[in-house]
Amino acid sequence: MSAQLVGQLREAMGEGRLAAGERLPSSRALAGLLGVSRTVVTEAYEQLYAEGWLEGRHGSGTYVTEGVAAAPTPRPQKTKTRPARRAAAPHEIDLRPGLAWIGALDTPAWRRAWRLAAGMPPQQRQDPHGLPGLREALADYIRRSRGVSCPADGLLITRGATNGLDLLAATVLRPGDRVGLEEPGYGRARAVLKGRGAELVPCPVDEHGLIVDGLPDDLRIVYATPSHQYPMGGVLPVPRRQALLAWARRTGTLIAEDDYDGEFRFDVAPLPALYGLDPEVVVYLGTTAKILTMDMGVGWLVGRPGLVGEVALRREELNDRTAAVPQDALRLLLERGDLDRYVRRMRAEYARRRAVVVRALDGLALRGETAGLHLVVEVPASDARRISAEAAERGVLVETLERHHMGQNRASGLVIGYGSAATPAQLRRGCEIVRSLGA
């Protein structure tokens, strides 16, 4: 998105729509106007400073450099190759899944935590498990919020759930080991495990989540999202959870439980994590990406202490670490109760945003609408592809279920996310457009 913003600003200056000497909005103001992270605007401004398009005037702001000629800039040639996931231009309504709404983050508590954390002295060598204070605070938080109890040596701070999965795979997998993944499922998990040399085995899901009957006995790891299956939205029922754990015990398979948005459920209280039923065979992966923002870059891995110790040793070998300042900022948010208050507020906010989407799509076949930050609209595959393409032409970005499969498609439809930067009015408008296209 920073690159797109650079291109648009560069074009506006080159064509004279932004004149030499004209003052630009502050990075905070422009980020708010466009509904993007302030980091996106800051990086764009820094690039244009480096290229000489912008100049700063002390105490005054950012200006288009004097002497910039109003001449059209060359545009890149269009190619027929299309990226798998296109970044949203600022004017588009982004209804793709995987994003958390960050509009409520700019609070005194958020700013105070980062200000205090930034004052901590730098460390030459960090414990590969993470900062002790954060581990203690996180252990208390996930015990309260997710029913997960763990000793301090059973918790390791990561850069997110995907990083935790990668560290686990780097520790326990050998090239050629077979790893089970939900089908359809999370593409980044597939990429991580394939990158570690695993043979990927698609494991079918239904409306309740992972189908346990028929799982092969020779898997080293099975990756699962039992609290809110990604992307279909099923919640794994207790009998199937018990069957999955019994199968893992019998076969010696590790279950990698990705609890990516388990805090957000709208019909009943959030369900306890699978890890709490059998800590010996489950490795629990969590992240702040859906609770707060992916820019924080902090997550956690919880497992039996011996295995977590092996992961920590492997992490040192890989020179992998989580930045200290975000860790300390999260510790402060936890210790002061700010994160709990924010999650309660966001649970209500996401419930309102979900209600807007459900009303706009009333009468359609919906799945997974009781939890998380997205839902699925069931339509035939050919319709899903057409609607996605035509919606993009009208400025609405949606994903098809097709892109979440690694083999033959087992389900078809559209994946609608409501945790993005879109306002409730934009959510409603975007869903109305999708519906008008034949969903």
pLDDT, tens digit (0-9, with 9 covering 90-100), for 184-201: 999 999 999 999 999 999
Cα–Cα distance, 44 to 34 (Å, whole number): 13
Q: Confidence class of residue 161 from pLDDT cuts 50, 70 and 90?
A: very high
Predicted confidence (pLDDT) at residue 7 exceeds the cutoff of 60: yes
The tens digit of pLDDT for each residue in 38-64 reads: 888 888 888 887 667 888 765 678 888
Q: How does DSSP classify residue 341? A: H
Strand pairing partners for 62? 24, 56
Q: How does DSSP classify residue 153? A: G
**Mean pLDDT for the chain overall:** 88
Is the preceding omega at residue 231 within 30 degrees of 0, hence cis?
A: yes
- Domain topology for 2-64: Arc Repressor Mutant, subunit A (1.10.10)
Q: What angle do CA 111, 116, 121 make, to 5 degrees?
A: 140
User: Is the pTM for the entire model greater than 0.85?
Assistant: no
In contact, 203 and 222? CB cutoff 8 Å? yes
Cα–Cα distance, 55 to 87 (Å, whole number): 27
- Among 78-82, 201-205, 314-318, 375-379, where is mean pLDDT lowest? 78-82
Strand pairing partners for 415? 376, 399
**Predicted local confidence at residue 122, as pLDDT:** 83
Cα–Cα distance, 170 to 240 (Å, whole number): 29
Using CA atoms of 184, 186, 191, 192 in order, give the dihedral in degrees to the nearest 10: -130
CATH 3.90.1150.10 fits 93-99+340-436, yes or no: yes
How far, in Å, are 112, 120, 159 from residue 115 at the CA level? Answer: 5, 9, 20
Q: Which residue has the higher pLDDT, 369 or 118?
A: 118
Strand pairing partners for 181? 202, 223
In the chain, CATH 1.10.10.10 covers 2-64
CATH 3.40.50.880 fits 121-336, yes or no: no
**Predicted local confidence at residue 73, as pLDDT:** 40
Backbone angles phi, psi at 308, to 5 degrees: -65, -35
Cα–Cα distance, 179 to 118 (Å, whole number): 40
In the chain, CATH 3.90.1150.10 covers 93-99+340-436
Using CA atoms of 99, 190, 404, 395 in order, give the dihedral in degrees to the nearest 10: 40
Residues 231, 236, 241, 244, CA torsion sign = negative
The tens digit of pLDDT for each residue in 106-152 reads: 789 999 999 999 998 887 788 999 999 999 999 999 998 888 888 88
Cα–Cα distance, 112 to 352 (Å, whole number): 28
Cα–Cα distance, 173 to 179 (Å, whole number): 9
